């Protein structure tokens, strides 16, 4: 397999018209790997198997059973890393404003779709997908780095906190009341600051992990 073929992104095209699926696959098949589905339910079944390699979803709006808008909402929730493009007739546009405004659609292509418009929309969608992938990889790298730092810092900080607590319990028999108070205050401050550092590390690590895991949770506003 050539390098060019390995680098091709995968596009899932959904349309109940068999000829439309064949036309789309023939039109862009040299640039992208194309999977086709005849409806929303079949598209979902394909995504359950292939979501890890699907970069772009292109779906018709008006289809028997579940329409393209319903499919887009499901994909936005379950596979937000996939860039979503809607194909629709001009008459459908007013009905789709809410879908577009909620960030579930990256582009709308009007029927009859022109090859040049399809290629341009896919080019932009591919750029968006690659940007998301790079951002996700960077977040994962940051997450791993922070996890390592948290592990390395957690043990000594916990030891400091325990040591400070031990000092407080031992000074009563060894020092006069004034000295006890001074050492006790220093030990308490040491303990509290160590605990604060532990909390900051834990909170920051959780924040980064939440950002990095968003592709499997709530999607960002843009499609």
How does pLDDT run across 158-186, given as a tens digit for each residue?
A: 776 666 666 656 665 565 566 667 666 77
Contact 73, 95 (CB under 8 A): no
Please give the residue that has the higher pLDDT: either 112 or 146.
112
Angle, alpha carbons 203-208-214 (nearest 5°): 125
The pLDDT value recorded for residue 141 is: 72
**For 5-9, 126-130, 181-185, 216-220, which range has the lowest pLDDT when averaged over its residues?**
216-220
The band of 25, judged by pLDDT with boundaries at 50, 70 and 90, is: very high
Distances (CA, A) of 121 to 46, 58, 83, 139: 22, 10, 11, 27
**For 18-22, 56-60, 177-181, 185-189, which range has the lowest pLDDT when averaged over its residues?**
177-181
pTM: 0.64
The pLDDT value recorded for residue 219 is: 42
CATH number of the domain where residue 55 is located: 3.40.50.2300
Residues 89-106: what's their mean pLDDT? 66
The band of 188, judged by pLDDT with boundaries at 50, 70 and 90, is: confident
How many domains does the structure of the chain reveal? Answer: 2
169 within some domain:
yes
In DSSP terms, 37 is beta-bridged to: 14
**Which residue range forms the structural domain that includes residue 142?**
137-214
The pLDDT value recorded for residue 222 is: 46
The pLDDT value recorded for residue 212 is: 52
Contact 88, 111 (CB under 8 A): yes
In a shared domain, residues 102 and 141: no
Number of neighbours of residue 43 by Cβ within 10 angstroms:
26
When the pLDDT of each residue in the chain is averaged and rounded to a whole number, the result is 78
Contacting residues for 53 by C-beta, under 8 A, at least 6 apart: 10, 33
Contact 150, 201 (CB under 8 A): yes
* Domain termination site, one of 56, 78, 113: 113
Contact 67, 43 (CB under 8 A): no
In a shared domain, residues 75 and 40: yes
The pLDDT value recorded for residue 215 is: 44
Contact 15, 59 (CB under 8 A): yes
CA torsion angle for 66, 70, 76, 77 (degrees, to 10)? -90
The pLDDT value recorded for residue 192 is: 76
127 within some domain:
no
* Domain termination site, one of 58, 78, 113: 113
220 within some domain:
no
Alpha-carbon gap, residue 117 to 126, rounded angstroms: 14
User: Residue 75 above 90 pLDDT?
Assistant: yes
128 within some domain:
no
The pLDDT value recorded for residue 211 is: 58
171 within some domain:
yes
């Amino acid at each position: 397999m050539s390098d060019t073929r390995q680098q091709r992104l995968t596009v899932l095209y959904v349309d109940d018209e068999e000829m439309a699926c064949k036309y789309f696959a023939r039109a862009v098949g040299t640039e992208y790997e194309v999977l086709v589905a005849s409806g929303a339910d079949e598209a979902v079944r394909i995504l359950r198997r292939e979501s890890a390699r699907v970069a772009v979803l292109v779906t018709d709006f008006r289809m028997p059973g579940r329409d393209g808008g319903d499919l887009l909402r499901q994909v936005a929730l379950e596979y937000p890393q996939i860039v979503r493009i809607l194909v629709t007739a001009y008459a459908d546009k007013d009905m789709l404003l809410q879908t577009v405004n909620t960030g579930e659609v990256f582009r709308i292509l009007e029927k009859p779709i022109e090859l040049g418009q399809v290629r341009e929309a896919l080019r932009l969608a591919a750029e968006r997908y690659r940007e998301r992938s790079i951002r996700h990889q960077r977040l994962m790298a940051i997450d791993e780095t922070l996890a390592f730092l948290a592990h390395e810092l957690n043990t000594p900080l916990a030891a400091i906190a325990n040591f400070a607590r031990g000092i407080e319990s031992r000074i009563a028999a060894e020092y006069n009341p004034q000295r006890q108070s001074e050492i006790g205050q220093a030990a308490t401050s040491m303990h509290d600051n160590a605990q604060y550092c532990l909390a900051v590390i834990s909170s920051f690590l959780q924040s980064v992990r939440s950002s990095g895991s968003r592709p499997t949770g709530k999607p960002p506003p843009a499609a």
